[in-house]
Structure 1
């Protein structure tokens, strides 16, 4: 009996089927056409969406936070990819929390501003994205801008006060000048003794007041005579150098 000749491609080591100009395609899927002018088909970019909502476009970025706890501290981070809305929401929330939670420690005073500045790099990547599309879950709401939130406003006010404190202190020192020394009570006015001990803390008082204790009759050493008999002599300690010595006549009640 004659044996039929083997068919083309048949054999124990070669799969049976028509051969084409490209590599063999399993499962009957025809090979993809190669664009004109390219020697091979380019590898498509691996698609990925936002880690929160699945929308595209998304970008890889890391948002950081810091918490100071006197002796201890915590370093927080959220890694992308994020779409524009979810990225801005994460940036604003973690930065705002850092601005009021991050100062409570010696080292945290320096770490907190560095953390907020590092987050600006992530923010710049988020704002450059197109509006998100193709959501799987709802996107996060970005909310108010960071500098319109209460923690940021408190931080900004404190920073302004700290920056303005030195020049304000210098200005107050220049405008205040030296205090003018007290000239003491005038002759003919009534006074009372604030310390009731040495007649050295005389406080002006209306002559009709029951608190008025003395009438200033003259400056000692002026005129032809010294203080009258029964008068008290006072040299208040807070008067200027060469303070006047006054003659005080008790006011009868």
Structure 2
């Protein structure tokens, strides 16, 4: 009977577990790490695509708005990230609405300018971005610039009117003046004393009347109104009506 060939494998009995060089007790190869069904987890603090269209690049920013309602007020905000086009469209829409809705209240008069200044910081960040690419949804149309929109134009006109009104009123006041037109006897008319014996006050009299005593030649207080030699100067308190300073020439 033939003898079976010698067996070179491990002998009978329990076998020790195989230890791989990597320290895995279950096999010679490491088990690969499986990714989740939705891709890798987002990195905290990283900015991903635009929240409105999904395009890149995008910037993290907050666009604000304000509405004044006399005794009430409303604060509005839209948080990013935004791509360049969606960010500019949001900035222009909310700022234009704030320009005509944000002033209607005592506190809103101070809050509205502050809100518009904060939006300028977000606008600067959007302008630094490259054109959006890889959008999942259509990007928003930025539209006209803010200062070319009707609310901004109305605000600009109102601001110019308010700023120019005080100087215009002052100029009109200076041009109109507050001098009253001269009153009393006209140049060339005659006057007499109401009672010569009692030195009564002067009253108008027709120049052809024998009672006429003085003729009005000049009105003092105007350029070149110095009385001539021999003329009399009437003091304001000498008149029966009004107060006049005139140059009087004796008729006879």
* Deviation for aligned residue 1:45: 8.4
Unaligned runs of 5+ residues in structure 2 are 1-10, 35-42, 188-202, 212-240, 246-252
Q: Does the CA-based 8 Å contact 1:102-1:109 persist in structure 2? A: yes
Match of 1:129 in 2: 129
CA contact (8 A) 2:61 2:80 kept: yes
C-alpha spacing 1:85/1:186, structure 2 compared with 1 (3 Å) = same
Unaligned segments of structure 1, at least 5 residues: 28-42, 188-218, 228-238, 244-253
Q: TM-score, normalised by structure 1?
A: 0.61
Q: For 1:123-146, what per-residue CA distance to the aligned partner results, in whole angstroms no more than 9, with x for missing partners?
A: 000111000011111011000000
Per-residue deviation at 1:113?
A: 1.1
Contact preservation (8 Å) 1:182, 1:240? no
TM superposition score normalised by structure 2 = 0.62
Are positions 1:225 and 2:235 aligned together? no
1:151 match: 151
- Structure 1 residues 132 and 119: CA distance shift in structure 2, 3 A: same
Equivalent position to 1:18, from 11, 29, 44: 29
Partners of 1:241 and 1:52 in 2: CA distance: 82
Deviation digits for residues 126-184 of structure 1, max 9, x if unmatched?
11100001111101100000000111111111222222233333323333223450569
Write the deviation string for residues 67-99 of structure 1: whole angstroms up to 9, x where unpaired.
111111100000001100000000000000001
Tell me, what secondary structure is at the counterpart of 2:205? coil
Distance in 2, matches of 1:58 and 1:64, equals 18
1:108 aligned onto 2:115: no
Alpha-carbon distance in structure 2 between the residues aligned to 1:3 and 1:155 = 96
What SS class does the counterpart of residue 73 from structure 1 fall into? strand
Where in structure 2 are the equivalents of 1:84-95 lying within 5 Å? 84-95=84-95
Q: Which moved more, 1:90-99 or 1:103-112?
A: 103-112
Write the mapping of 1:39-58 to structure 2, written as runs, cut at 5 A: 46=46, 48-58=48-58
Are residue 9 (structure 1) and residue 19 (structure 2) matched?
yes
How far apart, in 2, do the equivalents of 1:175 and 1:105 lie? 37
